[in-house]
Every structure is written in C-alpha cells, then in structure tokens.
Chains A and B, each alone.
Chain A
Amino acid sequence: EAQVTQNPRYLITVTGKKLTVTCSQNMNHEYMSWYRQDPGLGLRQIYYSMNVEVTDKGDVPEGYKVSRKEKRNFPLILESPSPNQTSLYFCASRYRTSGLTDTQYFGPGTRLTVL
C-alpha cells in the first residue's frame, strides 16, 4: 500500500529539548515536504526536498532543520523547540512529470505541543 508515515503521531515536550519527527514514504517519490498547520493560518510549507541531499526553505523555516540522506526518509528536526512551534505537522510526498502529472500525498500528521 502506497503511504506516507510519520512518527510520533502525538508529542508533548518542553522548551529546548531537541526532537525529531520522522517521515517515510514507500512510493519512490523524489519530492518531499514538511508543513505546519495552525488555526487561522492554514498550511504553511517549512522545508522541501527535490531529491537526496537537495533541500530548500519554504515559507516558515526558522527553528527547523531537515535532512534527506535517503530517498524514502525526510526527518524534521527541532533543535531547541519553543512554544510557538506548537502545531500540527504534516509530511508530504510528491510525484511530478513536467507539470502534466502532479500528485502530492500527506502523512497522517504529528500533533506537537511544546510547553
């Protein structure tokens, strides 16, 4: 079954304690992204990756890091989380061909609370 998985699904942590949210896809997609979703602000892209070792900033990259060492995995790292990073996070995996075909699938989400 084609899917995007994220772990953990729920996390409560404290300010400053480094954490990693993992994301994995089994569709061999080149493109992957991280989003956060906040009430009233909608979905905002944090980082995206076009392939292994190729990443770029989205709209709200401050306070986040990513890495793409393998095609299937795209972890999101919060080195020193702060309360304003409390949010619902989604990983997404995307397949495109010359703009004519484009599909992006989202993972189930990770609800993060930073106290």
Chain B
Amino acid sequence: QKEVEQNSGPLSVPEGAIASLNCTYSDRGSQSFFWYRQYSGKSPELIMFIYSNGDKEDGRFTAQLNKASQYVSLLIRDSQPSDSATYLCAGNQAGTALIFGKGTTLSVSS
C-alpha cells in the first residue's frame, strides 16, 4: 500500500517561531508533492507544489524535498496565530492520482 505519512500533532509553536512539518512517503515512484493548509470545516488551500530535490521558497513558506530519503517538509517562518490549521502533504503517484497524508495540526500561540 503506497502511503504518505505525517505526524498528526498537534505541533505547538509560539508566535514568531519557525514551524517544521514533516512528511514521509513509501512510493519511490512519487515524483512531486503538494502542501495544503486546511482550516477546520473548510476546503484545503494550496500552499506549495515541489518536484525537485532541494528547497523551494514562497514568502514565509519553504518546502524541502529529499527523494533519496523519501521525505518532504514544510517550514513556516515567523509563524502567526492565523497559521493554526491542519497541514496536508500529498504525493503524486504515476498518472494523476494523489495520495494524501492524514495531516498535521499546527497550533501557534500568541
């Protein structure tokens, strides 16, 4: 069974700190990944798409992909209370199917 795994959390960080969210995957054929943010009762919002090994930065967010070690991470700099949400990692299987992790809950305290 091809899986994407995330620590469910909650991950608690103080306002202004760096939040680090991690995701591991079992399918070596997965070539690219998404990070989404989901507020309770709302639909997932796209944060980042990454397909190359290394880092990709977008504002306060940095995604890191390491295909050799089969992990993807998301760093959130200068965390704000409004970043409190569940963060979903998803891997692209061959073709167009996406496999989602169950998400990590982040809590940012002011």
Contact = CB atoms under 8 A, between A and B. Distances in A.
Interface of A: 31, 33, 35, 40-45, 48, 50, 56, 58-59, 90, 94, 96, 99-109
Interface string B9-51: 0000000000000000000000110100000001111100101
A42 B31 contact: no
Q: Please report whether the interface of chain B is mostly helix, strand, loop or mixed according to DSSP.
A: loop
Contacts of B49: 101-103
A44 B101 CA distance: 9
Interface of B: 31-32, 34, 42-46, 49, 51, 88, 90, 92, 95-103
B51 A43 contact: no
B97 to A, nearest CB: 6
Contacts of B43: 90, 106-109
B103 A104 contact: no
Q: Please report whether the interface of chain A is mostly helix, strand, loop or mixed according to DSSP.
A: strand
B102 A42 contact: yes
Given A90-B43, A90-B44, A102-B49, A45 B31 contact: no
A48 B102 contact: no
